[in-house]
Chain A
Amino acid sequence: MDLNPYFVSRQIRNNRAMPPIIQFDHVSVCIHEKTLLSDISFDLFAGEKAVLYGKSGSGKSSVLRTLLGLNPLTQGSVYFQGKPLDPVSIQAVRSRIAYIGQEPILGAESVREALLLPFQFKSHRDHKPTEDQIVEILQRLQLSADILRQDSSRISGGEKQRIALARGLLLGKSLYLLDEVTSALDAESKRAVFEVFSDARLTVLSVTHDPDWIERCDLVFELEEGHLIKRRGRAEHQSF
């Protein structure tokens, strides 16, 4: 069986029997009389890798925040696995999504505590990872196990981003919202991150300005002043 991520994701996309993992249906978001998103519609199927790009303030990060229920909808609907996002479903939705921002907050003093932080919460308490699992994930992201002993305030921005990614991977989440996660990474670390997220089981909706990252995505959505102005599949995007 061909496990090429692109091939697999296209297969999934063609299989319309499954509802999209994410669906934005004519979504508009206005906060304090400022329009952040205007009539945005798109969908994303399981296994696909999508990227949002556009100038600063074009609404890329707002799409991610809206999906996480952090921006109230002015109009339209957001669906997660075919079900509308609402106060009842939001915690279950969040527990399926890993969000990693440009400047991730680790929320604990040491790196080890930061990695284990989510396992203090009721939703993950019974799934605490073993030491071997932690070390394996760190190695996949080009991080040494020694980093576990370090103070989380003393590690570099790139290391912070990879620790936040590792935390998401340890939680075994299937949907990853990545906001400029390669911005502080060197070429080697970036390759390691690409490698991890090429896994066909993972769905990725990312925000980036990085041409290498955009090149590797199946779907490209271009935003301008809150409007979705262009969408391209991988085939049309090869020359990007």
Chain B
Amino acid sequence: METLDITLPRMALLYGLCLLPWLLLWLIGLRLSRDIGISILRMTVQLSLVGIYLKVLFELNDPWLNGLWILLMLLVADLSILQRAGLKARYFFLATFTAVASSILFSTAYLVMLVIQPALYYDARYIVPLAGMILGNCLQGNVIALERFYSALRKNEKEYETFLMLGATRWEAVLPYFRAAIKAAINPTIAGMATMGLVSLPGMMTGQILGGSEPWIAVKYQIAIMICIFTSTAVASVINLKLSLNIAFDGFDVLKSEVIEKG
């Protein structure tokens, strides 16, 4: 079964749908026309570019090119995590890259090579979208973990110092904030798995069904991707936070102010 293409005139009709929320927002006094316009334009340009390079990637299906593409995604994700978590990339770049790359590569390789087992293990049709989906969710988790941990530490500086003064090692003193940050990072994935299929149909499954897959196959792929997202988010967040401790504190266990972005 072929997926029906959306012709350009029909795409224009689709953009027209945005006029309804735009009008509604305008009526209640929210002047967001510029933001909405820029967002829709950016989405269109970015996804068009993705369409072009995915086409090239799938046609060439070269293992080095696929690997290079995943590396590029990891680098962009690394910078994005640190920027959104308010940490300076020049200090944490390597730690975050190590944590995220190792967990993403491991879970994607596990999924593709052991579970799906395509004829070509480096097949761009499998590894690029799967790694991308896992990475996107893992990125969110890592932003939450880092941001929550360092915010809590700054907010509870006196409590942290009290733990140190009571004989705690640095690890023992940060453990309550560490646990809370990891919990916050993986909670959305756990909640998502618990309500999946009840509240909404997941995007990947919907895409596969629209693409002509049997619903049962789409379900299995969705379960596979959720387990990989959960695994990589939990593993990357724990490794990332743990590695960051050696960078963020001085030899006296004091949080270095210079590693945190101001503002």
Contact = CB atoms under 8 A, between A and B. Distances in A.
Interface of A: 32, 68-70, 72, 86-87, 90-91, 94-95, 97-99, 101, 104-105, 107, 117-118, 120-124, 167, 171
B164 interface: yes
B166 A72 contact: no
B251 A105 contact: no
B167 interface: yes
B182 to A, nearest CB: 19
Interface size class of B (residues with CB under 8 A): 10 to 19
Contacts of B254: 69-70, 72
Contacts, number: 60
A99 B165 contact: yes
A171 B159 contact: no
- The 7 A-B residue pairs with the shortest CB-CB distance, nearest first, are A87-B251, A69-B252, A118-B166, A123-B167, A105-B162, A95-B167, A99-B165
A56 B161 CA distance: 22
B172 interface: yes
A18 to B, nearest CB: 24
B165 A68 contact: yes
A104 B158 CA distance: 9
Nearest to A167: B166
Contact of B172 (A72, A105, A121): A121
B159 A107 contact: yes
B48 interface: no
Contact of B166 (A86, A87, A171): A171
B250 interface: yes
Nearest to B251: A87
Contacts of B250: 72, 87
A101 B159 CA distance: 11
Interface string B125-142: 000000000000000000
5 contacts: A70-B161, A107-B163, A107-B166, A123-B167, A124-B166
Interface string B141-167: 000000000000000001101111111
A173 to B, nearest CB: 9
A124 to B, nearest CB: 5
B169 interface: yes
B162 A104 contact: yes
Nearest to A98: B165
